[in-house]
Amino acid sequence: MTKICAVCGRPAVEEDSVRCAVCGALMHRSCASSDTLTDAEDNKLCPYDAMLAALDWFDAILTEYTDSLSSEQRNEVADRLRSYLDILENRKSA
């Protein structure tokens, strides 16, 4: 069975790859070299688990500090969140 890189979708060889610290997904070393796919302990994460980690971080900040934002700031955050939803909803699934 051919193994596929979780980042680029191309075939990956175990010896030249790393695994996601959360789910074990295989990624080419070059595909996983971005700091955005590395957690605070320098573990490699696949894009899905990196997004979930970012959402967990955002959720903690949102629930703790929303009351400290002005109405204008809350609207700005909401607009950005809506744009992220548009990106997710309008991308063709693989």
Q: What is the pLDDT of residues 58-77, one digit of tens each?
A: 999 999 999 999 999 999 99
pLDDT at residue 34, rounded to an integer: 85
Note the pTM of the prediction, 2 decimals: 0.82
Residues 6+ away with beta carbon under 8 Å from 28: 5, 7, 8, 10, 12, 16, 17
| Residue 52 pLDDT > 80 | yes
What residue spans define the domains of the chain?
14-90
